[in-house]
Amino acid sequence: MVRHFVLLGFSELPELQGFLSGVFTIIYLVVLIGNSLIITVTILDPALQRPMYIFLANFSSLEICYVSVTLPRILFDLWTQKRNISVLGCATQLCFFLMLGTTECFLLAVMSYDRYVAICHPLHYPLLMNPKKCAQLAAASWLGPVLVQIGQTCQIFSLHFCKSNQIAHFFCDIPPILKLACGDTSAQEVSAYVLTLLVGAVPFMLILASYCKIVSTILRLPTAQGRAKAFSTCSSHLLVVLLFFGSSTITYFRPKSSHSARTDTLLSLFYTVVTPMFNPFIYSLRNKDVIVALRKLFFKNTVP
């Protein structure tokens, strides 16, 4: 019986260990600094004390947690070349990865609902998105996945692992773990597929419905300036949705015949590491309010 796993990760690239270590260190710092700045300006700037930016601060906090589930472990493996991880450690990493990934789906759906109310029902916005409602939606996004994903993790690790202890991935994910289980894993595979479909497809359909309403409302605005301003308030969020859902859908729902360890690694890197790195830039460079708040934060003492 397996007592620990070995995360193979990037072990097939021995000549690039130092380079990869540097790249991932820079990415992690960018994620931490970029998202921390968004959280800071949202807290300090009174102009950003609005639901849209409260949800953005929650999203930035989530991105820091989400990346911290995988990147520190990648760096540890690259620095020490000790790729062993206990079964409990692997289960813990998988559980947090699933919980935070599900929270991201829910939070993106909540953010799209916020934009829908702001653009389609502006007169009712203060009532529908009051502080209490915002807190409830944010809390539901964070806490809703906890019990479900703990249950899924327990179901997966109730299996016996006797084929091998080498995980052909850089973190503990469902598909490579199930490959190591002995016996019939069809029930766990179907359960994981259905649950992933529910927590991914349902929020995405809600987002799609919201943006259909938003686009329809924007196109009916009388002036081009009004249409451009309305679209600019949700374009950053829409881009993040496309990056996250697009890459994760390709990873988990493409045919099994096209699966390979290298392809899985590259696709997983995109939505677990690369996309969170770009998100602070997407939200800051495409949002005038955030840019103004950042300028106030850095240059308030130099402006006469």
Residue 139 has pLDDT above 90, yes or no: yes
At 304 the pLDDT is 43
| Angle in degrees, 0-180, between the axes of helices 87-120 and 186-219, rounded to the nearest 10 | 20
Q: What torsion do the CA atoms of 211, 216, 222, 223 make, to the nearest 10 degrees? A: 40
Delineate the domains of the chain, giving CATH numbers in brackets: 4-301 (1.20.1070.10)
- Give residue 48's pLDDT: 86
Instruction: Give per-residue burial for 110-145: e unless 16+ CB within 10 Å, then b.
Output: bbbbbbbbbbbeeeebeeebeeeebeebbeebbeeb
Residues 181, 185, 187, CA angle at the centre, nearest 5°? 150
β-bridge pairing 166-167 and 84-86: unpaired
- Tens-digit pLDDT profile for residues 90-117: 999 999 999 999 999 999 999 999 989 9
By CB neighbour count within 10 A (0-12 exposed, 13-18 middle, 19+ buried), where does 103 fall?
buried
* Tens digit of each residue's pLDDT (9 = 90 or more) over 3-60: 788 998 888 888 888 898 999 999 999 999 999 999 999 998 888 888 988 999 999 9
Q: Are 10 and 24 in contact (CB under 8 A)?
A: no
**pLDDT (tens digit per residue) in 162-202:** 878 888 888 998 888 888 888 888 888 888 888 888 888 88
Amino acid at 40: T
- This prediction has a pTM of 0.88
Residue whose token pair is 């964070």: 142
With residue 86 as reference, give the H or E element that holds it: strand 84-86
Helix (H) or strand (E) holding 245: helix 224-253
